[in-house]
Each structure stands twice: as structure tokens, then as C-alpha cells.
Structure 1
Amino acid sequence: MRASKAQQQALLEVQELDTRIAQLTASRKKHPAFLALSELAGRKSDLERAAAGVSSKHADIKREQAVIENDIARIQARQEVMGQRLANGEGSAKDLVAIQHELNQMATRREKVEAQLMEVMERLETSSADMDAVKAQVAGLAADAEKARAEYKAAMGEVDVELSEKQARRANLVADMDAELLEEYEYCQKRSGLGVVAAKGRQLVGMVNALSEYEWHQINTLAEDEVYYSEDMECLIVKLAD
């Protein structure tokens, strides 16, 4: 592939920048504060699921309470009507006996329903306490996350500055680079993790010799404005002057 000496030097510098950017990015992810944030994020997801479950259960209990309260209200209203009829002596003696029997049944029914209501209210109280507990945990988690973020930001200050500088420098270099050359470089990076290396004499700069005699011959016969794609290493090779 054709590439001017300036383009070749730019390509090698991009490789250096990419290597350093990868190192800086890795250091950010290995910092204890980053790991703490990752753990807190996992705990947050767990708490959100727990909060959703508690909230749904609380809503179900409240609906159950409303149904029972409505039932009590209907019984009470019926008791008042029938009690008034009994007090007024409305109807025959047989009717009054029937009314009294119905009142007795309603009293028994109301007692049972009110007992149900007490049990539901106890569950509602427990559910409310559970909701408060989850909210307190969420608030505590948010405070821990804020503290971890502050620690991470302080610890990563110099790293972030260097990372920003390297990324800006890379952007400037690739903006002026031949599109086909850059595409080939990035293709190599994806395949092997390495986009380009420099060769000087019969040595790969900074690497153990991993090339066949055939490839060394191909490299040694390169023109000044050529770069070589190594099948052995799946990356581009730039030949430097001896």
C-alpha cells in the first residue's frame, strides 16, 4: 500500500497514541473507586427491583383495604336502615323477627370483616416500614455513589487530562491521514489488536522477531512510499531507515 513518509510517521504515532489511550482507559477501570461505582451500580439495580416489588405489594394491600372498607360501609349502611325499621316497629311480628335475624347476621359479618381489616392494616403498616427501609437504603446508596464519584474524579484528574490530550492529538492526526490507509490500520487493530509496527533492519521495533524469511524479504524490498501488510502478524509494517 502506498503511503508517504509523513503518513507513515503519522501512522506510527497514531499507534503509540492508541496504545497509551488503551493503557489510560484500563487504568481508569482498575481504580478502586471505579470498581466501587460498578458495585454500587449493581446494588442500585437490585434495590430498584426490590423497591418495585415492595411498592407493588403495598399498592395491592391498599386496594385490598379499600375493598374491605367499602364492604364495612355497605354493612353499616344496611344496619342503620334495618335498625331504624326495627326501632320503628315497621312490619308484622314475623317481619320484625326477620329484621332482627338479619341484623344479627350483619353484626357477625361486620365483626369478621373488621377483623380482616385489622389484619390488612397490620400488613399495610409492615409494608410501609419496608418501603421506608428501601427508601433509606436508596438514599444511603446515592450518598455512597456521590462520594465514590468525587473520589474517582479526584484520583483520575491527571489521567483524564492526559487521556483528553492523547485523544485530541489522535483526532488531529487521523483528520489529515489518507482514508484508505486509516481504514486498513483500523481493520488490523480489530483483527489482531495491533495496527502497525516499525521494522528496522531485521528487527521489529519493541517486539520479538515474528516474521518469516519471505516477509522479511518483502519488507526489505519496499519502496520508501510503501507500507507492508504482514500475513503472519495481521498488521501493517513500516520500514525505517537503518
Structure 2
Amino acid sequence: MPSAPAADQIRLLDVQDIDLRAQQARHRRDHLPILTQIAELESRLKDLDEARVATATRVSDLRRAVQKAEDDVQVVRDRAARDNARLSAGQGSPKDLQALQSELEVLGRRQSALEEVELEAMEALEAAEGEHASAKEQVDAITVQVEELAAERDAAWAEIDEEIATLERDRNLVVDGIDATLLALYDKLRAAQGGIGAAALAQGQCLGCRTVLNPGDLRDIEAKAPDAIVRCEECGRILVRGAKR
């Protein structure tokens, strides 16, 4: 049976206490409520930014459509202006003047149709510009929120990191001189047992798994040498005897 000085085994409980506090600190660091808030806002920000890009593209397309509609209307207006000038001047034969009149009527209808297209394009552009401005405004607002929360997160992390660093320094002091075999076994069990590798035996109970040992097992344990490394039959952790816990 492996053995280690009884004093070292008792000191192991101090190591366990430090390790457990460090583990809890790391868990707090990884599960700060603010992390969920940031993740939710970043997800929303991603969707809004995609909407912003999409509306920016639509605005660009509609501006081109409006420009084309304006150009088409202007072409018709210019043609109608020339025809009106010729008609007013009375140049040409009666047949030619009648043809000009007919063409002006066609151009009038064409201009009305093109102006309707122009109006619809302008209304669509105005709506798209409003959507784009709204998306950009929301993106900017949420970006500010994320930055503020990130600053709070970083401050909380810094505080916890300092706590962990202090615990690591304390651990180095406590483990100094502890039997290497005992410490290696403890670290192995701690990794396999959810962070608890050693527990006190108090009033016939393993404080690691809360199992109450039967009288026969207790007698066997009490009969072992003080430096014998005892393990809990239920959870396998190191049972530390003689600790005032």
C-alpha cells in the first residue's frame, strides 16, 4: 500500500481547498452573466449589420433606377420641346405639322408613363433609405452597448484572474515539501473526480462523496498505519484521517 507522511496528507486538504476555490473562480470567469448578454447582442448585431449591407445595396440599385427614370423622362421632354418649337414656327407642310401634333400626343402619353415610373422609383428609394438609416442607427447603438459590456467583462475578468493568480501562489507555498507520490496521486484523482481528489474522513463519513462507511470498513482503516494512503471504497478519493474539519 502506498504511503506518505500523515502531516502531508492533512496538508493535502489545504491544497484541495485552494484548488476547489480556483476551480470555482475559473467557472465564474467562464459563466459570467454578462457573457450571455454580449453573445446575444453580438448575434443581433450580426443580423442587423447584414440588413444594413442589404439595404445599402438596395439603395444603390434604386438610385441608379431613379437616375435612369429621370434620364428617360428628360429625353422625352427634350424631344417634345423640339417638336413644339417646330410646330409653333409653322415649319413644314400641313401633313408634317399634323404628324408633329400626333407625335406630341404620343410623347405626352409616354412622358406621363415615364414620370409614373420615376415617382415609384423615388418612393421606393425613400423607403429603402429609411430602412438603411434605421439599420445603421441600430447597429451603432448596439455596437456601443457591446463595447460598454465588454469593458465591464474585462474588468470582471481582471479581478477573477488576480484571484486565481493569488490562489496559484498560495498553492505553490502549500505544496512545497509535500510527498511527490501523494501529490501526483491527488492530481490524478482530482482530474478524474470533478476537481476533488482528497477528502476528510469525519465521523465515519467520506466528505468527498458523503458516503457513510460501515463499522467494519472503519475498523480496517483505523488499523492501518498513520502514513498509509487510504482511499474511499465508494468514490476512490484519498481519505485523509485526523483532520480537524
TM-score, length of structure 1 as denominator length? 0.66
- Paired with 1:3 and 1:49, the residues of 2 have a C-alpha distance of 61
Of all paired residues, the percent bearing the same amino acid is 19
Stretches of structure 2 lacking an aligned partner (at least 5 in a row): none
- Paired with 1:8 and 1:186, the residues of 2 have a C-alpha distance of 18
Cα separation, partners in 2 of 1:237 and 1:201, compared to 1, 3 Å:
same
Question: How far apart are 1:87 and its partner, in Å?
Answer: 5.9
Q: Write the mapping of 1:155-234 to structure 2, written as runs, cut at 5 A.
A: 157=159, 160-170=161-171, 173=175, 177-178=180-181, 181=185, 182-189=187-194, 194-199=196-201, 202=204, 204=206, 210-223=212-225, 226-234=228-236
Helix, strand or coil at the partner of 1:197: strand
**Correspondence for 2:125 among 97, 110, 121:** 121
Which residue of the partner structure matches residue 18 of structure 1?
Answer: 19
Question: How far apart are 1:71 and its partner, in Å?
Answer: 3.9
Helix, strand or coil at the partner of 1:194: coil
- Paired with 1:50 and 1:224, the residues of 2 have a C-alpha distance of 67
Which AA in structure 1 matches 2:58? D
Question: How far apart are 1:112 and its partner, in Å?
Answer: 0.8
- Paired with 2:27 and 2:150, the residues of 1 have a C-alpha distance of 22
Cα separation, partners in 2 of 1:147 and 1:108, compared to 1, 3 Å:
same
Which AA in structure 2 matches 1:45? S
Helix, strand or coil at the partner of 2:199: strand
Helix, strand or coil at the partner of 1:4: coil
Which AA in structure 2 matches 1:237? L
Mark the structure with the bigger radius of gyration.
Answer: 2
Question: How far apart are 1:196 and its partner, in Å?
Answer: 1.1
- Paired with 2:48 and 2:107, the residues of 1 have a C-alpha distance of 46
Question: How far apart are 1:17 and its partner, in Å?
Answer: 1.1
- Paired with 1:143 and 1:100, the residues of 2 have a C-alpha distance of 63
Question: How far apart are 1:230 and its partner, in Å?
Answer: 2.1
- Paired with 2:14 and 2:100, the residues of 1 have a C-alpha distance of 104
- Paired with 1:226 and 1:81, the residues of 2 have a C-alpha distance of 109
Question: How far apart are 1:167 and its partner, in Å?
Answer: 2.6
- Paired with 1:52 and 1:241, the residues of 2 have a C-alpha distance of 61
Question: How far apart are 1:111 and its partner, in Å?
Answer: 0.9
Aligned length: 232
Cα separation, partners in 2 of 1:52 and 1:10, compared to 1, 3 Å:
farther
Q: Write the mapping of 1:43-122 to structure 2, written as runs, cut at 5 A.
A: 43-77=41-75, 80=78, 84=82, 93=96, 96=100, 99-122=103-126
TM-score, length of structure 2 as denominator length? 0.66
- Paired with 1:177 and 1:75, the residues of 2 have a C-alpha distance of 91
Which AA in structure 2 matches 1:64? L
- Paired with 2:229 and 2:19, the residues of 1 have a C-alpha distance of 19
- Paired with 2:53 and 2:122, the residues of 1 have a C-alpha distance of 20
Stretches of structure 1 lacking an aligned partner (at least 5 in a row): none
Asked whether the 8 Å contact 1:185–1:236 carries over to 2, the reply is no
